[in-house]
Structure formats: C-alpha cells, structure tokens
Amino acid sequence: MSNLTNKKRPPKLSFTDQSAIAPSGVGLQYSELGQQQDAIPVGTQDQAANVAGSTSDSHNLDSSVRVRFDGHDDILISPSSLTVTKQLGRGQYGVVEEVRHEGSGFRLAVKRVALRPGDDNERTRLLMDVDILVKSTECKNIIKFYGALLWEGDLWVLMELMDCSLYKFYRLAHRKAETPVNNATDARKQFKTTPLGPCTHVGDNVELGNCDLCNPIPERVLGRMAADIVNALSYLYSIKVIHRDVKPSNILINRIGIIKLCDFGISGYLVNSVARTYEAGCRPYMAPERIDPPRDRTGYDIKSDVWSFGITMLEIATGRYPYQNARDFFEQLKSICTDEPPKLTKGRFTATFEDFIGQCLRKDYQTRPKYDSIETHPFILSNRNLDISEFTEKVLSNEVKA
C-alpha cells in the first residue's frame, strides 16, 4: 500500500488496445475484488462542467472534492488523504486503482488519466465518460460518479467501488483459468473447450437451467443480471445515448448482486435515434450491421447494443465467447456477419431463455427488439426481483480463499 502523493507518477502508458483480437477483458478494465460503499457525490454537476476545460486549463478543477458517505457529513477527499490498496486495471488512457480514504476508512475507485496536450481522442473519451456518468446518477444500474480532481497533471475521476467485472465473475463461477491473453492465438487456446451438451440431471428437484452441475451460473441468476443490464441500457436510451461497447468486462457486480454498467468513453449521443461512428467499440461484440453496414443505410441504432448484450449474456451463461473457434480475427468477423447467429445448447436451458437470446441475436436488425420489448420478455419479468446476493457472495468468497 502507498500514499498517492508519495507515489511516482505512472509512466506514459503505451498499452496497445487488443480489444479487436481478444474476446473480452482488455482495455481499461475494472475487474479486481473490492467493496461497494454507498456514497453521494457533492456538487458533481459543477465538477463535471469543469472537466471539459481541464485538459487545456489546469485551474478549472480543484485538488480536493467533497463526498458524502452513508449520510454522514461531507468528507473532503484530496490526494494526500488517499492510500492505494490495489490496482484494478490499466489501459491506453490511464490506470484504475482501489484507494482508501484515511480519515474515514471508506474505499472507492479512482481512474487516473495523464492529460496530454493535443490528444483529442483522449479528451473526447474522457469528456464523454464523465458527462454520461453525471447524467446517469438516477439510474441504480450505472456506476456512480463522485467527483474529479486535478493533481500533478493527472485528472482523477472518483467512482463507486464494485467487487469485480462480469468477465471475471463468470470465469470464477465456471472455474476457468485466468491466463493472460496476449494475442489471437492465445485467446483461441485459452477459450477452446469441449462442446456443451444437454443437461441429464433434470428431475429430483432439479430444474432445467438451474442445475448445479450443468449451469455454474443458474438461469434465474442470469435473468436478474439481464434485467439490471437492460435497465441501464434503457436508461441510456432515455437520455439519447448508445453505449457501443457492451461486453462482460464493462459490466460490474458487487457482493449483494447488483449489476452496474461502466466505461462510457466511446459512447455516443443519438441524432434522430441514429449513431454513425462505426469504428467505436470492440469488434468481436459488434452487431453484423456495424461490421458490414448495409449500403442502403446510414448509421445504426440501439439495436446494435442489443446484439452486443445478447452475445454478452450467452458468453456469461456458457462460460465461453461464442465465436471462439475462428482461426483468426478476420474469420471471426466473417462468421459474425455470415454465419447463423449463435444459440444456447438445446436441452441445457429453458425454452424461455433460448427465445430471449434468439430475439437479441437476430441477424436482421430490423426484426431485433428494442428495450421496451426486451423488458417485458418473460425471462426478465420472472427474474428481475430475484435476490442473488447469496450466490454472488458464494462465488466471490471462493475466489478470496483460492
């Protein structure tokens, strides 16, 4: 552990973003264990407004911010009051760390970004991320923004601390090895496993989709996860935002089973319900119409996020990325565009869940449902109020003991 003010500034990051070749879990991840604290940001609207100028004017932000935890008096947070307890992730644009406030003992996540003059891409991502966080404070399924600091040329974004990403969570549940993925070949070796077969244990109080032996993450738990994710995406749509990077590593979970969406750096605002930047996002999770756009169509809409969500849910349910067997990245993209959509294994999940995934992964975007339709699907309605805290605690506790 170290105090942030005594810590050497991180070197200029040269991380090469491998999101184009690795199934998930790359980029500025937030995937290690932590602990959620209930905190209320104080004055975040004003703080966020100042972030816009912070890349060119170092006087727009203060070196401290006030945050209210659990209804207590406002706590003044400054770099000298924070101690790093672990690194949660790092990427092309910065590092995310778990920190502890020495005066109160509360823990939170800090994203530190080195502000480089003239880096328009970095500035755009940063502004988009903070802007959406501030506008989403009313949504329980979007990560909380507490405030921002400026210290020694770095912008610090203070956020709610969760326990881990769904990418790490499903791997813990499925007991998969966590060997780092460095390239496409490693990705294929790591994720290639034997095909899933139908469940043969139904009966004797064992429900299809909720068999401990065949479903490391029970279907009812998946239903609650899906409900929370859709709630977050639907809220974004209500403020005319498309996420554009929905995948397991950008969805967080805590020990009480609450799901939160994060990482809005490449999100975009919809104009007449349409977005037009095709390059933004992780290609293995992109919808076919984004990889190979129809000639008679300009732009894409939220249904592309519905596809990404469907791929994400299928991956979490099965413990494997559905296009894992492609020989290389280009074959993978070709499969997404030309092959039949991936499906859940027959006889392992209920017909309701199979239908839910099937609707989200319709190749024809015109027939793919929007959020209002997804939210009323029986798979969501029957599981959205389920308490999954006992299951999430069990999975995360096993990880701590390992």
pLDDT of residue 322: 92
The architecture CATH gives domain 65-159: 2-Layer Sandwich (3.30)
pLDDT of residue 268: 83
pLDDT of residue 218: 94
pLDDT of residue 166: 95
Domain boundaries, the chain: 65-159, 164-168+211-396
**For the chain, percent of residues with pLDDT exceeding 70:** 71
pLDDT of residue 229: 97
82, 145, 281, 303 from 266: Cα distances, Å: 29, 17, 7, 17
How is domain 164-168+211-396 classified at the CATH fold level? Transferase(Phosphotransferase); domain 1 (1.10.510)
Helix (H) or strand (E) holding 22: none
Q: Over the range 88-125, which residues count as b (16 or more CB within 10 Å of their CB) and which as e? A: bbbbbbbbbbbbbbeebebbbbbbbbbbeeeeeebbeb
pLDDT of residue 280: 66
Q: What pTM was computed for the model?
A: 0.79
Strand partners, 147: 158
Catalytic positions, please?
A: 245
pLDDT of residue 277: 63
pLDDT of residue 2: 53
Low-confidence ranges of the chain (pLDDT < 50): 6-45, 47-49, 52-59, 176-195, 400-402
Contacts of residue 171, defined as CB under 8 A and 6 or more positions apart, other chains included, come to 178, 319
3-class DSSP assignment, residue 126: helix
pLDDT of residue 397: 87
Find the distance separating the first CA and the last CA of the chain, reported in whole Å.
Answer: 21
Residues 172-215: pLDDT tens digits?
998 743 444 444 344 434 434 444 688 877 776 778 888 777 88
Residue 247 marked ligand-binding: no
Given a contact cutoff of 8 angstroms between Cβ atoms, the answer to whether 95 and 87 are in contact is yes
- Burial classification of residue 31, based on how many CB atoms lie within 10 Å of its CB (0-12 exposed, 13-18 middle, 19 or more buried): buried
pLDDT of residue 33: 40
Given a contact cutoff of 8 angstroms between Cβ atoms, the answer to whether 306 and 370 are in contact is yes
pLDDT of residue 161: 92
What is d(CA 173, CA 319) in angstroms, rounded to the nearest whole number? 8
